[in-house]
A and B are shown apart, each in its own frame.
Chain A
Amino acid sequence: AQKVTQAQTEISVVEKEDVTLDCVYETRDTTYYLFWYKQPPSGELVFLIRRNSFDEQNEISGRYSWNFQKSTSSFNFTITASQVVDSAVYFCALSEPYGNNRLAFGKGNQVVVIP
């Protein structure tokens, strides 16, 4: 069975600080996809990234960066120089193999950025 663990439930940071969200996953599959989504108070899940299990390169997109380490089954997410608009719940998710987008989500990290 697939499982995603996001241990930190709520994280508060002062604006301009960096914040790192940890994601640890469990799967027996050798092929899978990992995702991060942002959920603002409106409820919609906003797609941030999808990563193939064969691609272990780290990725940076603006103030966002991701560190994928297959050896430790982790896919951590860092927001650099946080802003108030980053306040949201962030979910890490794992899909079944063959890219069919049936996701197993973690419980999420509530990020509060204090001005």
Chain B
Amino acid sequence: ETGVTQSPTHLIKTRGQQVTLRCSSQSGHNTVSWYQQALGQGPQFIFQYYREEENGRGNFPPRFSGLQFPNYSSELNVNALELDDSALYLCASSFRVSGADTGELFFGEGSRLTVL
């Protein structure tokens, strides 16, 4: 067990709605990354949070936003949902010291979002 937990595990939304996904990082980890995995594809990097600030972003529009809290947990928010947002959203945590990640990146089991 990796220790990264995500909620909810499954959810269904309709186009135009908003969604919030949550992630608790593994104990001792201070960096959280979010990935989107469409069916049959590899995960795509959305963004990363370190010290409660966004620290790198992939090719995703501003309607994808996030937060990191003092306890290192994180939220991913998606506004104005589109059909193509249907995917598995994966959260990953790691430990960063002096600006560099020190080792493994641990993933949670993901939140599967369906947009109708």
Q: Chain A interface (Cβ within 8 Å of chain B)?
A: 4, 35, 37, 42-47, 50, 91, 93, 96, 98-108
Alpha-carbon distance A83/B55, docked complex (angstroms): 40
Given contacts A43-B112, A108-B42, whether A101 and B107 have CB atoms under 8 Å apart is no
- Give Cα A100 to B96, complex, Å: 8
- Looking across the interface, which residue of chain B has its beta carbon closest to that of A104? B45
Q: What chain B residues lie within 8 Å of A99 (beta carbons)?
A: 100-102
Interface of chain B: mostly helix, strand, loop or mixed: strand
Q: Which of A43, A50, A101 is in CB contact (< 8 Å) with B31?
A: A101
**A interface: dominant SS:** mixed
Give A37 Cβ to nearest chain B Cβ, in Å.
8
- The distance in angstroms between the C-alpha atoms of A102 and B102, with both chains bound, is 13
CA–CA, A61 and B45, complex, Å? 28
Task: Out of A44, A50, A96, A107, name the residue touching B107 (CB < 8 Å).
Answer: A44
Segment 4-28 of B: residues with Cβ below 8 Å from A = none
Q: Which residues of A contact B92 (CB under 8 A)?
A: 45, 101
